[in-house]
Chains A and B, each alone.
Chain A
Amino acid sequence: QVQLQESGPGLVKPSGTLSLTCVVSGGSISTSHWWSWVRQPPGKGLEWIGEIYHTGSTNYNPPLKSRVTISVDKSKNQFSLNLSSVTAADTAVYYCARKLFGPSYYYDYWGQGTLVTVSS
């Protein structure tokens, strides 16, 4: 059973950089899946941030693309999110998830989420 676990600071100052890591257990990150980040502001809906393949190929959501970097560390079976120049609008629960290819592309495994608050 694949499990994903997010970790990182729960508080980031405005204009700073949000950094989170997602550790994958129960399976290798070097499989034919993409590994994604999704966020959810308090009381609001879900927003896709971006994704990475174990080769290092990435795709980002255009509105966030200039501020987002997603990287992978195969030796640690984990991937990471960096979001720069954060504001209060970036306060959200951040989830990592696995994207599976099938008759559609869908997210079958998710981390439990971690709340990141942007505040001074």
Chain B
Amino acid sequence: DIQMTQSPPSLSASVGDSVTITCRASRSISNYLNWFQQKPGKAPKLLIYAASSFQSGVPSRFSGSGSGTDFTLTISSLQPDDFATYYCQQSYSTPSFGQGTKLEIK
């Protein structure tokens, strides 16, 4: 099975900042990488699929990049609504998720 490792586990930032979350796969997954946002008590929300494609309705301040084993999610100009937990997920083989990155307000 493929292990997904996210870093950092948590992150403090201010409104207007730009942040980057990293996700590493234990072996190559091509671009079979998705990013989700989850808020407390809510289901995950798809942000990015296929490493860099925007899900409909997602603000353009979210962007994804990478291929193979290393991927990043960047959020530019943080808004109050962006403070949440973010998960990467690979769909190359048996689906698996990263452990999450909690983005908190500084």
> Residues of A at under 8 Å CB distance from B?
36, 45-48, 59, 61-62, 95, 97, 102-108, 110-113
Contact = CB atoms under 8 A, between A and B. Distances in A.
Contact of B46 (A108, A112, A113): A108
Given A45-B87, A48-B94, A62-B1, A107 B32 contact: no
B94 A47 contact: no
Interface string B29-47: 0011110100000111110
B55 interface: yes
Given A103-B31, A113-B43, A45 B49 contact: no
Chain B facing A: main interface SS? loop
Interface in B7-48: 31-34, 36, 42-46
A48 B32 contact: no
Given A46-B87, A46-B89, A95-B43, A103 B94 contact: no
A103 B53 contact: yes
B25 to A, nearest CB: 13
B46 A107 contact: yes
B91 interface: yes
B51 interface: yes
Contacts of B97: 45-48
Contacts of B36: 107
Contact of B44 (A62, A102, A110): A110
B84 interface: no
Contacts of A104: 31-34, 49-51, 53, 91
